[in-house]
Amino acid sequence: MSNIRLFFSESLSQNLTLNLNKSQSHYISKVMRLKRSEVFSIFNNSGEWEAQIKEISKGIVKFKITKLIRQKKNSRDLWLAFSPIKSNYFNFIIQNATELGVTKFIPIIFERSIVRKINSKRLEKIIIEAAEQSNRIDVPVLDKCEKLESFLNKNKKQIELIFTDINTKNKKIEIGNTIDQPICIIIGPEGDFSEKERDKILSFENVKQIKINENILRSETAAISALSIINYAFNL
């Protein structure tokens, strides 16, 4: 079987026959040059299947699900709450955080946020491509932008919040083992958190502070560093 993996949002099951969309069909037939009877992988948020090409007609690939390769395993959700930043750096965060296992992206508009809007369609495309490349089954969710207070209020007692705080002396983190409670890392804007925002975060019921470096880090560096630390803590 080829190493080609495609995300398919519709429900999948063995022996089901479906069509790829125009963009995916072009990729399979024109870019990768697969032919009838050749196989590739297709996945959604529940599992990954082997798919066999049955027909290529008028630029559309028709395929049949031939077998289940693997199912999604239950694992703890990992969220990333962060301030939108300039486009190229934003793309870097989204791509690399997807590869590092983030299950939900939550753009937060802080007092000192410079960028206050996101291009959801472009970012969702980056998320899907990163999931396809990194061998993930699930595709992260991208939430709409919201204010810090709204985010904290609606997630009371729902999450374990990891606050990346350069002012703390704590350089170690211990993760709880409640699988149904998401872990959420919160990263500040390029101008850092305001004192009012720091107070709100620190008053959150289930918050843990961590200093990830003695130096002041760019937002994208802080996000990837924090995710790497949390992934390491997961595996202890």
Contact between 8 and 40 under an 8 Å Cβ cutoff? The reply is no
For position 236, what pLDDT does the model report?
53
Q: pLDDT (tens digit, 9 = 90+) per residue, 118-133?
A: 999 999 999 999 999 9
The strand pairing partners of 79, in sequence order, are 104, 184
CATH class of the domain defined by 5-71:
mainly beta
Whether residue 32 is predicted with pLDDT greater than 90 in this model: the reply is yes
For position 68, what pLDDT does the model report?
94
Whether residue 18 is predicted with pLDDT greater than 60 in this model: the reply is yes
If one compares 52 and 231, the residue with the highest pLDDT of the two is 52
Q: pLDDT (tens digit, 9 = 90+) per residue, 148-194?
A: 999 999 998 889 999 988 888 877 777 766 677 899 999 988 888 99
Domain boundaries, given as residue ranges, for the chain: 5-71, 78-234
| Among 38-52, 72-86, 160-174, the least confident range | 160-174
Q: Do domains 5-71 and 78-234 have the same CATH topology?
A: no
CATH of domain 78-234: 3.40.1280.10
